[in-house]
Structures are given as structure tokens and as C-alpha cells.
Amino acid sequence: MDLRLTGRVAVVTGASKGIGLAVTRTLLDEGARVAAVSRKAGAELDALAGPDLLHVPSDLMDPDAPAAAVERAVEAFGRLDVLVNNAGGPPPGASLPRFGFLTPSDDDWRDMFEFNLFAVVRAVRAAIPHLLRSDAASVVNVSSGNGRRPGPMNFDYNAAKAALNNLTKGLSEEYAPQGVRVNSVSPGPVRTPWWTDEGGAADIIAGATGSDRDAVLDGGAAEMMALTTGRLATPQEVADMVVLLASPRSASTTGADVAVDSGFLKEI
């Protein structure tokens, strides 16, 4: 199916690995031009190099960085049609999961909201004037099933993603009538570097449960989280939904939150 993205210009944050890398690759495959925003490029993003890809080095913890990244994309490609706010999860230097409400400090809370909410606010604020000039504009925010399913861990992360879901709905109400659709995708656990890197979620859960990282990744996490499919999702499975929502093929979808979560959310 042609997603009608040929020649469109997209900004993707957190684009060097995991879901963001998969989104970037898929948009390029669909003929879009992509400004890939990340602190470093990395070998996998470098492998996609070509005239339709621009890497924008950026630390989104810097309040000026989201707007600078958007402007760099418009400067390079002349327009903006799609904004994918994918960067999120543990802020630089932090590791998740964190167990218990008393564990994160005030600084942890501030950093979590800075990375997962305020950076999105700033990117959207910078992108809106350009998106309003597009004939098929779309914003896709990558949220999390944890934004809709509270639990006794990751309190700061869960609250930031719940706020992102609320922001997404509000933006859709204001801007969909002006031609800018805004949706979110809520993954469950995804087999990304957040899970697989040394010291990442798999190691933390293994340490907390007396297991080992391979057992966690190969079924332990899925069992603990009651994932219906019995496995963590892949980055590409999430990216496919993100790109579909970004596409003009989804012209009547706005204000939606789509779960790509292996059956993590049980609520109706």
C-alpha cells in the first residue's frame, strides 16, 4: 500500500536506535525525507545515509534544542509535514525500572518530565507554524501503555506519559480543524536498547527477581507483565503504526491513542 509519503518531510526525535531508528528507516523506505534528531548518530543510522536523510545532533534536555532541530530540518528540506516525538524513556544518566514511590527524587521527577513531556511541548510549539502550511500535516507522539496503567514502579515516567496523552488529545482538538492531525502510539515493552543494553531494564528486573537477563528477555518479562502474545514487541512493529498514523492514509484519524503493546493493556 502506498502511504503517500513520497517527498514529505519528517522530523523524528530519538532517531538513532530502537523505535526511532525503525521509524526513520520506514519513512525513508516510503519516500519521505527525514531529519533524524539524536545526541549521536550511531552506526545503524549512518548506514541509512543519503540525500533524503539529515542527522541533527541534539540534546533534547536543552530547552533550546527542539526548536533548533525543527528549524534545521526546514532549512535543509524547505518544509515540514510530519513530526514524530519518539525520544523518551529514561533521561540521560537514568535507568528504569525504578521501584516504589519514594525512590525518585525531585531532580529525577524534573528530568523525567523535561525529557518525556517538555521536550515534546517545545518541539510541537516550533513545528506548528510549519505544519500549518502543509496540506497533510501530522504529529505522532510516542507514549506508553504505562501512561494508562498505573503501578508501583516508574511513578515519574508513568505520570509524564499520562500527561503526554492528555497533551495529544488537547492538541488534536485545537489543530485538527486547521489541518494538523495529532495522535499517539502507546507501546508496551519493546525489545530496544532500553531493555537489552548492559544495566538496562532486563538486568534490573533480573536482579530484582533473582533471574537472569536472557530469561527476562526471552519470556520472563512477558510473563510478569501478562503480555498476551508472550513476547516483547519489536521496534518495527511500533514503527509501522507510527508511520501509518503519519501518513495521509490516516486522514480521519486524530486524537487517537493506539496501543502496540503485545496485549499489555487489559482495560476496555
Three-class SS state of 142: strand
More confident residue, 199 or 141: 141
More confident residue, 214 or 175: 175
157 has catalytic annotation: yes
Residue 224 confidence (pLDDT) above 90: no
Q: Angle, nearest 10°, between helix axes 235-246 and 18-29? A: 50
Query: What grid cell was written down for 175?
Result: 489543530
Cα 110 to Cα 58, 104, 122, 125, 167, distances in angstroms: 19, 10, 16, 20, 18
Marked catalytic residue, from 77, 115, 155, 157: 157
pLDDT tens-digit readout, 178-190: 999 999 999 999 9
Most confident of 188-202, 218-232, 241-255: 241-255
Q: What is the average pLDDT across 77-83?
A: 98
Average pLDDT taken over every residue of the chain? 95
pLDDT tens-digit readout, 30-64: 999 999 999 999 999 999 999 999 999 999 999 99
Q: Which domains does the chain have, with CATH numbers?
A: 9-188+233-260 (3.40.50.720), 191-232 (no CATH)
Tell me, what's the pLDDT at 249? 98
Cα 202 to Cα 114, 207, 211, 261, distances in angstroms: 25, 9, 10, 17
